[in-house]
Structure 1
Amino acid sequence: MPTAEFLFAIWGLLLTPGPTNTLLALSGASAGLRRSTRLMPAELAAYLLVVTPLALFGADLLARQPLAASAVKLAAAGWVAFLAVKLWRVEAGRAQVEAITPRRVFVTTLLNPKGLIIGLTLLPQGAAPFFLLHLGLFAASVLMVAAIWAGAGGMMKRDTTEPPLVYRRAAACWLALLAAALVGAALRA
C-alpha cells in the first residue's frame, strides 16, 4: 500500500470513536489536554505491542488458529463492557481524575480490535521494504490522534475538576454499544 493511502487508512481508523478514544476524551474533559498527555505513551506502547507481532507473524497464526480472532474480540468486548459499567456507576461529585489511568488506557488499547486491523491488514508484513517507515508513521499518528481526542475532551472542560455526569453516562452508553458490536462480530466469525 502506498504511503499516502496507508496514512489515510490509519487516520480514518484511529480517529473513529472507540474505547481508547472515549477514555482520552474523558481524561481531557476532566484533567485537560496537558495532564492527559501522560496517557499517550501507554496507548502507543499497547498498540505497538499488538501490531508489531501481528504484522510480523499474525497472518500465519490466524491461518492456523481461526478462533483466535474471535477470542480476542470477546475479551475486548468484556473489557469494554467493564469500562462502560465503571463509567456509568460514577456518582456526580465522586469521580476522580485518576480514574483514567495509563494502565487502564494500556489494557483498553491492548484489547482494541483496531490493533488487529492495523497489524493484519494495514501495516506491510515485516519483510516488506516500507515496514519500518509505516510503523514509524503509525506511531506518530497514534500520538497525534490521542492529542486530538484529549484536546476535544479538554474543550468540554468546565471550571470543575470532573466532566459533568452526562458526559460519563454518554461515554458509558457508547462503550456498551461497542461491546455489543464486538460480541456480535465475534459470534459471526
Structure 2
Amino acid sequence: MTDPVLFVLAVLAILATPGPTNTLLATAGAAVGWRRALPLVPAEAAGYLIAISAISAIGLALGPVVAAAPMLALGLRLMVGLYLLFVAWKLWRGAGLPIAGPGLVTPGRIFLTTLLNPKAIVFALGVVPFNAPAWPGYLMAFALLTATVALGWIALGALLGHAADAAGRASLVPRLGAAVVSAFAVMLLTPPLLR
C-alpha cells in the first residue's frame, strides 16, 4: 500500500480495533494511570516492528509451510490462545491488589502479546509496502502511528479507571480486561476444537 493517505488510514483502522494488546493497554491505564503506563508504548511498538519484519522476511517461505502443515498452524493458534488465557488469569488475579497492582500489565507482557498479535500478519503482508523503495519511511510512520494509538488506549483506560475509582469499583476494570482477553482466547481456541 504505497499511497501515504491510504497507508495511514489502514494502519489507524487496524490498530484502533480492539484486541488483546489494546485491552492490556487500556487496563494498564486504568490500573496505574496514564503516566505510569507510558513505558508500555515502546514495548508495543517493538513487538509489532519485530513481528512485521520477521513475517515479511520469512513470509514467502513460511506461508507454504503452514499451508502444507495444518497441524503447525493449529499448534500456533493453540499456543497463542493458551497464552491469552494465561494473561487473562493474571489480570483477573491481580484485580484485587492495591491500585490493581503496578506489575499487572508489564512491558514484557505487552511485547509478547503484540509479537503474537495476528494484526502483525495483516500489516506485514498487506499494509506495509516492503516492495517499495521508501519502505523504511513507511515502517517509521507505522511506529509513530502505533505509539499514537497506544496512547489513546492508555488514556481511555485511565478515564475508565478514574470513573471506576470514583464509583468504588477499582477492581472492575482489570476484571473486564481479563474477560475481554479471555474472549479473544476463546475465539482462537474454539474453532480448532470443533473440527
Please classify the TM superposition score into its range, dividing by the shorter chain length.
0.7 to 0.9
Aligned-partner Cα distance in 2 for 1:169–1:107 = 20
Answering whether residue 94 of structure 2 is matched by residue 90 of structure 1, we say yes
- Structure 2 regions of 5+ residues with no counterpart? none
| Alignment CA distance shift 1:119-1:46 (3 Å) | same
Aligned-partner Cα distance in 1 for 2:81–2:91 = 15
| Alignment CA distance shift 1:123-1:158 (3 Å) | same
**Residue among 153, 167, 175 paired with 2:173:** 167
TM-score w.r.t. length of structure 1: 0.87
Identity of aligned residues (%): 34
Answering whether residue 52 of structure 2 is matched by residue 51 of structure 1, we say yes
Match runs of 1:102-181 below 5 Å: 102-125=107-130, 127-158=131-162, 164-181=170-187
Aligned-partner Cα distance in 2 for 1:78–1:157 = 27
Aligned-partner Cα distance in 1 for 2:9–2:194 = 28
Aligned-partner Cα distance in 2 for 1:148–1:158 = 15
**CA offset at residue 92 of structure 1?**
2.6
Aligned-partner Cα distance in 2 for 1:37–1:150 = 8
Aligned-partner Cα distance in 1 for 2:33–2:162 = 10
Match runs of 1:64-103 below 5 Å: 64-66=65-67, 67=70, 68-94=72-98, 95-103=100-108
Q: Which residue of 2 aligns with 1:29?
A: 30
| Alignment CA distance shift 1:163-1:119 (3 Å) | farther
TM-score w.r.t. length of structure 2: 0.84
| Alignment CA distance shift 1:183-1:151 (3 Å) | same
Aligned-partner Cα distance in 2 for 1:112–1:179 = 11
- Helix, strand or coil for the counterpart of 1:97? coil
Q: Which residue of 2 aligns with 1:19?
A: 20
**Equivalent position amino acid for 1:26 in 2:** T
Aligned-partner Cα distance in 1 for 2:169–2:28 = 9
- Structure 1 regions of 5+ residues with no counterpart? none
Aligned CA RMSD, in angstroms, stands at 2.4
Per-residue CA deviations over 1:119-159 (Å, capped at 9, x if unaligned) read: 1221123x422311221111111101110001111112339
Comparing 116-125 with 143-152, which one deviates more in the overlay?
116-125
Per-residue CA deviations over 1:47-98 (Å, capped at 9, x if unaligned) read: 1110012223313321233245544332221111111122223353443112
| Alignment CA distance shift 1:7-1:72 (3 Å) | farther
Comparing 62-71 with 78-87, which one deviates more in the overlay?
62-71
Aligned partners of 1:80 and 1:178 also within 8 Å: yes
Aligned partners of 2:94 and 2:104 also within 8 Å: no
